[in-house]
Structure 1
Amino acid sequence: MQLPFLPRATMLKLLCLSLLGLVQSSLAHGGHENAGPVKGETIQEYAQRHMSSEHHIDSFDIRSFFQLHDLNRNGFWDKDEVEAIYGVHHVYSQKKSKDEIEHQEKAEHIVSTVLKRLDLNGDGLITADELEQVGLSGLPNFDEFGAEGHHYDVESEFFLHHEEQFHSTPETQTDESYTHAEDMEHFSQHEAIERKEAEREAKFQGVTIEEVLKAQEDAAVAAKQKAEEAASKPITRVAPPEKQVPEVKYKNARTEASRKGDWGTGEAGYKPPTEPSDKMRKNLPYRVPVCSTSSAAIGVISERLDIIYINTHSI
C-alpha cells in the first residue's frame, strides 16, 4: 500500500506508533491501568487497540507504519529515526537514566538491538521491505529502560495520556477531580516554572521575589473582579441614527450645525449633507444639487421634514 505524502507535523504525531513494541508499559505516567498487551494478546492486536484508543487511528499496515516513521522521507530508518520511534531522548526517558553516560549507553543499546533484528543486510539502515519481512513483532520492548515512545513536550504528553483519559468531561474537570499523582506532578512543574519567571522578573526590577508574587496575585484578583463586574453590567444597545426617532436623531444637531458654520464653507464645501447637523447648516438649499435627481435629494427632503417636525413640536 503506497501512501500519499504526509506533512511533517502529521508524521511526528504518528511517531507514537512506536508503542507497538512496548508490550508491557503504559503511556500514562504511572498509577493508572496498564496500556500494554493483555494476557494472550499479540503485539499486532495490541497495536490495533492502542492506535484506536490512544491515537484515534483505526487502520494501518506495516508499510504505512514504516513511512510514517521515515521522517526525512529517504526510504530508510537510520539511527536517529530508530531513537525517535522509542522516544529515547524524551525528558521522561532521560529522567530514568542516572547520568549522560548511562543515557547514551541506553540509546546505543536500543539502536543496536533494533538493527540486529531488522537490518537484514547489515548496512546500518532499515528498509520497508526488511520491516515487512520481519513483521511488527521485530520491534523489541524497551520499557525497562524508560524508552516508552514519548515524542511530544511534557504538556502535550500530559494532555494526551492523562487529561484526555481522566479529565475529558465537565464533571472530571472540577478542582476536586485533579487528585491523581500525575496531576500533582503537573501542577508542581507549573509552579516551578512560574517561580523561575518571578525570580527573573524580580532580578530585572531590583525587587524581592515576594513583591513580584504579591503584585501578580493582586493583578489576578483585580482582573477577576473586573471580569465579574463586566459580566454583571446590563448591555445598552443604541439604535443607529437612521433608525432613531427625530427627537433623538437631532438632539444635538443644531449645536453641531452652528459649530460647522454656513453650508459651503470649510473643507466639506458644497458636498451633499450626510449627517443630521449638516442638514441644519445655514444657507443649505431645500434641494441639494447632485449629479441627478437621485435618492440623495429625496433623502435631504425627508430629513428637512424631520427638522420641521421637531421645530413645530418644540414651540
Structure 2
Amino acid sequence: MQSAYWATRHMAEEHHIANLDPSAFFTLHDFDNDGSWSGDEIRLTYGLDDESAKDVEETKKADVVKAVKEIFDKDGDGVVSKEEWIEGWMKEGKRLPDFGVRLMIDTREEDLTHPEDIAHFKKHDEIDAQAEYQEKIDAMPIVEQNIPQKFRRY
C-alpha cells in the first residue's frame, strides 16, 4: 500500500473509507465548516496535534502546514479554500504529500475523549446519514416533499 497516495491511505486507515472523493475529503477535514483549511485544520488532518505526535518537532509540523499551503493555496491568503483544493486536485493533479509522519492514532469511537476527535466522528456520522438519506430519495419514483404544497392532493 506504500505506492498509494497519502490521502487514499489516510481515508482507508483512519476513516475506513475505501474510495476517495476529493470534495468529500475536503469537507470531512474542514473541521470548522468555513469552506477553507487553516493551518490548524491541516495539522489535524495529518494528526499532528494528536498525543501520539508529541515527539514530532514543531518545526516539522510547521513544515507540513507550509508545504500543503504552498501546493494548494493559490491566492496566498494563508488558507486552502475548497475551490483551490478541487482545482488543484482535479485539474492540476496535485496531491497531499506523505511527510513520513506515521502516527498510532486509535480511532475507535468508543475511546474518543478529545473534542476534535468527537467532532470529527460526528461529521462522519452526518455524512453517512446524508448519503443514506440521498440513496433512499434516489430510489423513490416520486419524492412527495419536492412537490410544492399547492399541487398536492389530500
The two structures share one fold, judged by TM-score above 0.5: yes
Deviation per CA, 1:192-227: give whole Å up to 9, x if none. Answer: xxxxxxxxxxxxxxxxxxxxxxxxxxxxxxxxxxxx
Alignment-mate amino acid for residue 50 of structure 2: H
Of the three residues 68, 74, 78, the one matched with 1:124 is: 78
SS of match in other structure, 1:112: helix
Aligned mates of 1:112, 1:152 — CA distance in 2:
26
Confirm or deny: 8 A CA contact 2:68 2:96 kept in the other structure. yes
> In the alignment, what sits opposite 1:309?
none
**Runs of 5+ unmatched residues, structure 1:** 1-34, 98-102, 158-315
Aligned mates of 1:84, 1:117 — CA distance in 2:
18
1:105-144 to 2 correspondences below 5 Å:
105-135=59-89, 137-143=94-100
> Could you say if the C-alpha distance between residues 127 and 50 of structure 1 is closer, same or farther in structure 2, counting changes exceeding 3 Å?
closer
Deviation per CA, 1:211-270: give whole Å up to 9, x if none. Answer: xxxxxxxxxxxxxxxxxxxxxxxxxxxxxxxxxxxxxxxxxxxxxxxxxxxxxxxxxxxx
1:1-315 to 2 correspondences below 5 Å:
35-37=1-3, 42-43=4-5, 47=8, 51-52=11-12, 55-95=15-55, 97=56, 103-135=57-89, 137-143=94-100, 146=101, 148=103, 150=105, 152=107
Confirm or deny: 8 A CA contact 1:71 1:81 kept in the other structure. yes
Deviating beyond 3 angstroms after TM superposition, the runs of 4 or more aligned structure 1 residues are 49-56, 147-153
> In the alignment, what sits opposite 1:307?
none
Aligned mates of 1:125, 1:149 — CA distance in 2:
27
Q: Structure 1 residue 57: deviation in Å?
A: 2.1
> Could you say if the C-alpha distance between residues 147 and 124 of structure 1 is closer, same or farther in structure 2, counting changes exceeding 3 Å?
farther
> Could you say if the C-alpha distance between residues 65 and 150 of structure 1 is closer, same or farther in structure 2, counting changes exceeding 3 Å?
same
Confirm or deny: 8 A CA contact 2:36 2:81 kept in the other structure. yes
TM-score when normalising by structure 2: 0.57
**Runs of 5+ unmatched residues, structure 2:** 113-154
Alignment-mate amino acid for residue 2 of structure 2: G
* Overall identity of the aligned pairs, in %: 29
Confirm or deny: 8 A CA contact 1:87 1:149 kept in the other structure. no
> Could you say if the C-alpha distance between residues 54 and 83 of structure 1 is closer, same or farther in structure 2, counting changes exceeding 3 Å?
closer
Confirm or deny: 8 A CA contact 1:85 1:149 kept in the other structure. no
Which deviates more from structure 2 when the two are superposed, residues 108-117 or residues 129-138?
A: 129-138
> In the alignment, what sits opposite 2:143?
none
> Could you say if the C-alpha distance between residues 93 and 121 of structure 1 is closer, same or farther in structure 2, counting changes exceeding 3 Å?
same
Deviation per CA, 1:35-62: give whole Å up to 9, x if none. Answer: 533xxxx528x81x76457643244411
Aligned mates of 2:104, 2:67 — CA distance in 1:
16
TM-score when normalising by structure 1: 0.30
Alignment-mate amino acid for residue 115 of structure 1: K
Aligned mates of 2:105, 2:37 — CA distance in 1:
18
Deviation per CA, 1:142-174: give whole Å up to 9, x if none. Answer: 11xx35484759x959xxxxxxxxxxxxxxxxx
Aligned mates of 2:36, 2:72 — CA distance in 1:
12
SS of match in other structure, 1:70: coil
Higher relative contact order (CA 8 A, sep 6+): 2
Q: Structure 1 residue 113: deviation in Å?
A: 0.8
SS of match in other structure, 1:138: coil
